[in-house]
Structure 1
């Protein structure tokens, strides 16, 4: 991505400040999406993202900064997509806000111009993705629904890198219902890498809702404990690229009268081949959720998603991209999804 420096400010108001910089860059895309399971199978999608990067350095060499990602989708409202603030130095880097979970040392990139989510199935258990399965719902009297509806996204990350090796620790701090932390390490050798991560999540919620005609209303209490180990590996070897991820986890749930222990795992692999301006990709992902209960009722079941895609570099930061994939959950029929469009970097 080419960054355009729009403003460089020397903070002359105080001699104690070194030079600070604010730069802007962006991405945009537009195209068509196809969903074989949807009533309207083909849809139009567009979005633009503005990236703001602020950085500075103290007289003693302490680096500091922030990044802000602002997004507009389908001509809608401007929304904050991610904001992160950091300080860094010889001690490492401390970040707060929209930080990565430390067990996310790598993964598999998606395919298609607008993402066909071939990576999501493989990454079901790593990082904060598991909250989709720990937000178990309970339907009480009068069909009132209460749920855990939790978020596992971490808000603090510390990373230390020494040559080819890096380690990280992250956590979610300040949430009364969620205790979550992760540790991870990664080693780069040449154009290849390996990584290992561990995450621990503990959830304990108590919710209540008043219902007309009942003296006490409805109370929901739920808890869940999860531990996940994730391994990643990949690299670039000439024109070929390969990336793989595997996660193994154990989950205990006691929510809405449902109690169970589940052994879950997920994996995925993605390969690519580049020749001149054309890149071809293929990906396969699978997750075994061991019949876990899901938000809204029912069980998760096995999930599979695989597909192929291509991207052609037009130069100047623009490229044509598209892909087609098949997706299957449990015993349901497989569905075809696809997309085609143009992406732009500024």
Structure 2
């Protein structure tokens, strides 16, 4: 990570601001990804792409912040990212996402714009994701469309607030969720509200968090999710369980779906440089996606690591597909 300090004359045309701090950080990764019968993969669509393809990502995050004389921090973030296109096997173009702004003082932080919501920020939600691309995860059975930070565009314009005191924290987020009519599709839904909340508490080496989210449109959704994550020497473990209900007249999900999702993931440090990780995720819904994956990370030093994983994915009662990847990642 590299920091560049710009004088105010280079940033603004006023003399009231002494300086602003601008930080560039990110990572790159590239390697090979394998999906059994990729041509008939329902997530990639039918195409003539080989089962084995080059996978890659470049991410550059730009953070800028300034602090008032009273100690209140103001800042913003944008991100430039390019990924491969799994549908075509070709390298994708880099794009700049929408900005996220924040103000922070003491234990209170408020964000606006392209925010990550209370579920996206839920401690332990993502757990450990084996693979160069985070190929497998423990939350694969979740269908709920929560307020999530977009790395490649601008999908919403919301607000997020978090307050932490000691080992306890609470958070909430809100945005206006456009329906199909607002997006120019068939007028089956209308604009509405989307919001979520969470509370988290850390006791010793374990963090427990509980969240609830709801989308109040004709495409109604709601979710309750509990996560646990803890560190026990060389072993770190995360678990997720919850219930969701999705009533989607637009057809994106099955109409009136109510199901339970669950998952477990772990990482074990074999040595100071090598760790193995595991993820399992599933749900009781007919079309829930099941992930089972085992992977490893080997640190080469200097922010460079080798990563890979192998496992299976299955949608509902469909056939399982073997999925694997391997490659290098470097951080800067």
Q: Indicate the residue corresponding to 1:344 in structure 2.
A: 330
* Pairing partner for 1:116 from 131, 135, 142: 135
Q: CA deviation at 1:113?
A: 0.7
In structure 2, the CA distance between the partners of 1:98 and 1:120, relative to structure 1 (3 Å rule), is farther
Which consecutive residues of structure 1, in runs of 5 or more, have no partner in the other structure?
130-150, 204-222, 292-300
Equivalent residue in structure 2 for 1:287, among 283, 286, 292 = 283
The whole-number CA distance in structure 2 between the counterparts of 1:24 and 1:234 is 30
Q: Which moved more, 1:173-182 or 1:88-97?
A: 173-182
Tell me the TM-score normalized by structure 1: 0.77
TM (normalized to structure 2)?
A: 0.80
Unaligned runs of 5+ in 2: 40-49, 85-90, 149-153, 179-189
Q: Is structure 2 residue 59 aligned with structure 1 residue 61?
A: no
CA RMSD of aligned residues (A): 2.5
Match of 1:159 in 2: 162
**Larger relative strand fraction:** 1
The answer to whether structure 1 residue 97 and structure 2 residue 113 are counterparts is: yes
1:92-150 per-position Cα deviation (integer Å, ceiling 9, x unaligned): 11101221221341312311011214245144337348xxxxxxxxxxxxxxxxxxxxx
1:262-318 superposed Cα distances (whole Å, 9 cap, x missing partner): 3212111101100220000111000222x4xxxxxxxxx243111100000000000
Q: Aligned residues, how many?
A: 293
Report whether the alignment pairs 1:249 with 2:263. Answer: no
Whether contact under 8 Å (1:154, 1:180) holds in the other structure is no
For 1:255 and 1:309, how far apart are their aligned partners in 2? 37
Deviations, residues 140-162 of structure 1 (Å, cap 9, x unaligned): xxxxxxxxxxx986621011111
In 2, the alpha carbon distance for the partners of 1:162 and 1:22 equals: 28
| Displacement after TM superposition at 1:20 (Å) | 1.4
Cross-structure match for 1:185: 199
From 181, 186, 199, give the equivalent of 2:213: 199
In structure 2, distance between residues paired with 1:102 and 1:119:
18
Structure-2 residue corresponding to 1:23: 23
Of the two, which has the highest radius of gyration? Answer: 1
Do the aligned partners of residues 85 and 193 (structure 1) sit closer, same or farther apart at CA in structure 2, a change above 3 Å counting? same
- 8 A contact 2:103–2:110 mirrored in 1: yes
